[in-house]
Amino acid sequence: MFYGQYEHALDGKDRLIVPAKFREIFKEHYVEKFYITRGLDRCLFVFAEEEWKNQEQRFREMPFTNEQSRKFNRLYFSGACEVLCDKQGRILVPLFLKQYAEIKENVIIIGVSDRIEIWSKEKWNMFFKDNMDSFESLAEKLVDPKQK
């Protein structure tokens, strides 16, 4: 559902303009509410409400008696906030999430199929540089698991 890479900046009130392409998708699918939380690799994950409920159900099924499950769920869900786009297509990035993702002002917003990721520009550039050379070998291992 979400694809592409966009560069934006937070305004003085920590609001971020959601890319127009993503706002069009929200409109087409009647999405009004989103959830933003801590993502992996120090980015932020943004889910439409329906996908968030799918994620929540999946993680709820993890046994709370398992220490790793408890830790993950605590960190993941304690960082979650419900957000709405304002009339200008902006969302508020809470300070604690901004700090977690080490976002100063400039961000890269990427679509990763069922979610949106928000990265500090510096972190995204480092991730991309460090991982782009392995793109083909990752494809071989993940797309065709028979390859080793």
**Structural domains of the chain ordered from first start:** 2-120 (3.40.1550.20)
Residue 29, pLDDT score: 82
pLDDT in tens, 83-105: 999 999 999 999 999 999 999 99
Residue 56 has pLDDT above 60, yes or no: yes
Angle at Cα 31 formed by Cα 82 and Cα 62, nearest 5°?
Answer: 55
Question: Nearest 10 degrees: CA dihedral of 48, 30, 26, 127?
Answer: 20
Residue 114, pLDDT score: 94
pTM for this structure?
A: 0.91
- pLDDT band per the 50, 70, 90 thresholds, residue 148: low
Residue 111 has pLDDT above 90, yes or no: yes
Residue 54 CB partners (closer than 8 Å, separation 6+): none
Average pLDDT over residues 35-55: 95
Residue 14's nearest CA partner among 109, 117, 96, 129 is 96
